[in-house]
Amino acid sequence: MKVFLMHPDRDFQLQGQREQKYPYRYVLSLPPAKAALIQDLELDTLFHAMARGDEFLFEVAKQAIFSSLDSPEGIRYRQAVLKDCLNNPTVVREIYSLPIEALDQKHRHWMGIFSRYPSAVLSGAVQMLEMFVLLLRRLKRIADEHAGQFESDGFRRFFAMIQQELTDEYFAEVEAHLKTLKFKRGVVISAQLGKGNEGTNYILRKTNHDDRDWVKRVFSQKSSIYSYTLHPRDQAGARALSELRDKGLNLVANAAGQSADHIDSFFNVLRLELAFYIGCLNLSENLAELGEPITFPDPAPAHERQHSFTGLYDAALALTMKKKVVGNDASADGKDLTIITGANQGGKSVFLRSIGLAQLMMQCGMFVPAETFRANVCTGLFTHYKREEDSSMTSGKFDEELGRMSEIVDLITPNAMVLFNESFAATNEREGSEIARQIVTALLEKQVKIFFVTHQFEFAHAFYAKQMDNAIFLRADRKEKGRRPYKLIEAPPLKTSYGVDTYNKMFGGEHQR
């Protein structure tokens, strides 16, 4: 049985190393570029909102968001499944509870399947299969009652598979086999004598059930048999008999164990794939409590340049502040370069973070924090943010910036996206502006999409003066008396960032500039 709720043609898999203490948990070692994304976009806030304290949900959310889909078709497939989840949260959570229950029951009771003794393996496998049958029956009931409420290709195929394979005849046959495998009347084993009169070719035989009534069984003529009864204190004989029994049960135990593993694998994949959608449900509920909108984005191919949205906001900020935050509107279709300038503390960095979050969320098939959103997929997302001085740095701050830029260049491909936040500001403005100009020019030549927040007027004005068709300039708005509406407007860069506003706010001055 296949789940196929994350991809139309393959299972979703966790990457990384399994923990020895908890073999169902994974530890993902992130490369520097992805670690930077977590730091710069405050992704941990998003992961915690999706997980709600569940370590497994946290790990699945992290890996799903970093496993970007590269095609609009794949994104729309997952979006459709997520829409069904949002429309039927109670049913989806009920389905998710089944593999959770299976995992809990397995770790508490059915460890015999890992034994080296065939009889213990068989007993453990039978117990696991009995537990799985009960859970599969509940899954079949859910499918029968609720399949008509789901519209996505993923869920329709999933429920159809459940209804086709888990029939009443299937359950009756499985339960009959499980009853037989308990061998309440003992086991019948045949064997041959090999070299040195050693037993060989042990085969488990089907027992002959006597269906006659008790009267006929009591008064019928008994056939002669050869039997041997062990003395109650004959421990060596009991061990020998147990070894003979295990030899006969070996093949059956292996088959039962493989059957249990097969169903266990199905529940593990179901848990893994539904965990992503449970995380999305948790996040959507958190944002709904704050009164924040969500929307399903319209993805475009990577080679197109589309980026238009209304009400785009920083979900991490809203979750941290626990209140509704300001959203932004923009139309950057056909643009490769977006330069953001304007007043200090006017919302530029928050806007940049909202761009990165929305891109990641769109490309893993999620909704995005906006009223409307349309963008092309990218082949990779990178951030280059300014860093505070660090005592562990082995070189200067500007050298560290250039080093991180070099690492990004080694990984970047055409149609990728880079978010710059006050980059190359660790040196004087002329040198920093020239380095930024050369890097941005080179990236544009390689069809890389760029969002650049900067206070360097020389850099921003140099591109504005070119009147490039593929560039757009946004500016953090500033109202009278330095009030910040935290909205971005399309406007040319200014020489000032109104740092005096911050001074006046901090020290109560009346200086104007």
31 with 106, same domain? Answer: yes
Residues of the chain with pLDDT > 70, as a percent, come to: 74
Rounded distance between C-alpha atoms, residue 496 and residue 513, angstroms: 9
> Helix or strand or coil: residue 351?
helix
Q: Helices 118-146 and 235-289, interaxial angle, to 10°?
A: 30
Average pLDDT over residues 134-158: 96
Sheet containing 381-385: give its strands across: 381-385, 417-421, 449-453, 337-342, 471-476, 488-490
What pLDDT shows up at residue 235? 72
What pLDDT shows up at residue 512? 45
The token pair at 293 is 């909108």
Q: How many domains does the chain have?
A: 2
Q: Residue 253: is it exposed, middle or buried by C-beta count within 10 angstroms (0-12/13-18/19+)?
A: buried
Model pLDDT for residues 334-384, shown as the tens digit of each residue: 999 999 999 888 899 999 999 999 999 999 999 999 999 999 999 999 999
Which of the pair, 397 or 360, is modelled with greater confidence? 360
The top-scoring range by mean pLDDT among 1-5, 82-86, 169-173, 246-250 is 82-86
From residue 281, alpha-carbon distances to 57, 183, 296 in Å are 11, 46, 14
Model pLDDT for residues 67-119, shown as the tens digit of each residue: 889 999 999 999 999 999 999 999 999 999 999 999 888 776 555 445 556 66
Rounded distance between C-alpha atoms, residue 251 and residue 11, angstroms: 30
316 with 273, same domain? Answer: no
373 with 275, same domain? Answer: no
314 with 361, same domain? Answer: yes
The token pair at 446 is 């390689």
282 with 379, same domain? Answer: no
The token pair at 133 is 């049958």
268 with 344, same domain? Answer: no
Burial profile 276-293: b = 16 or more Cβ within 10 angstroms, e = fewer: bbbbbbbbbebbeeeebb
Whether 233 is covered by a domain: the verdict is: no
Which of the pair, 297 or 496, is modelled with greater confidence? 297
Model pLDDT for residues 37-60, shown as the tens digit of each residue: 999 999 999 999 999 999 999 999
273 with 377, same domain? Answer: no
What pLDDT shows up at residue 56? 94
Whether 183 is covered by a domain: the verdict is: no
Beta carbons of 231 and 237 less than 8 angstroms apart: yes
The band of 173, judged by pLDDT with boundaries at 50, 70 and 90, is: confident
Average pLDDT over residues 406-411: 94
Whether 153 is covered by a domain: the verdict is: yes
Side-chain half-sphere exposure of 317, counting CA atoms within 13 A? 19
Beta carbons of 212 and 153 less than 8 angstroms apart: no
> Helix or strand or coil: residue 222?
coil
279 with 368, same domain? Answer: no
The band of 232, judged by pLDDT with boundaries at 50, 70 and 90, is: confident
Q: Are strands 307-312 and 328-331 parallel, antiparallel or unpaired?
A: antiparallel
Q: Residue 208: is it exposed, middle or buried by C-beta count within 10 angstroms (0-12/13-18/19+)?
A: exposed
Whether 468 is covered by a domain: the verdict is: yes
Whether 311 is covered by a domain: the verdict is: yes
Could you say which of 289, 306, 340 is where a domain stops?
A: 289
CA nearest neighbour of 182 among 252, 230, 116? 252
Does the pLDDT at position 260 exceed 80?
A: no
319 with 285, same domain? Answer: no
Average pLDDT over residues 228-247: 63
Could you say which of 272, 289, 306 is where a domain stops?
A: 289
Average pLDDT over residues 249-276: 79
Structural domain harbouring 457: 298-507
392 with 279, same domain? Answer: no
SS3 annotation, 52-100: CCCHHHHHHHHHHHHCCCCCHHHHHHHHHHHHHHHHCHHHHHHHHHHHH
267 with 311, same domain? Answer: no
The top-scoring range by mean pLDDT among 17-26, 297-306, 426-435 is 297-306
367 with 325, same domain? Answer: yes
What pLDDT shows up at residue 100? 94
Rounded distance between C-alpha atoms, residue 444 and residue 446, angstroms: 5
Q: What is the CATH number of the domain that holds 406?
A: 3.40.50.300
Whether 227 is covered by a domain: the verdict is: no
The token pair at 433 is 């502006």
Beta carbons of 41 and 316 less than 8 angstroms apart: yes
Whether 383 is covered by a domain: the verdict is: yes
Whether 216 is covered by a domain: the verdict is: no
Which residues sit opposite 452 in a β-bridge? 339, 420
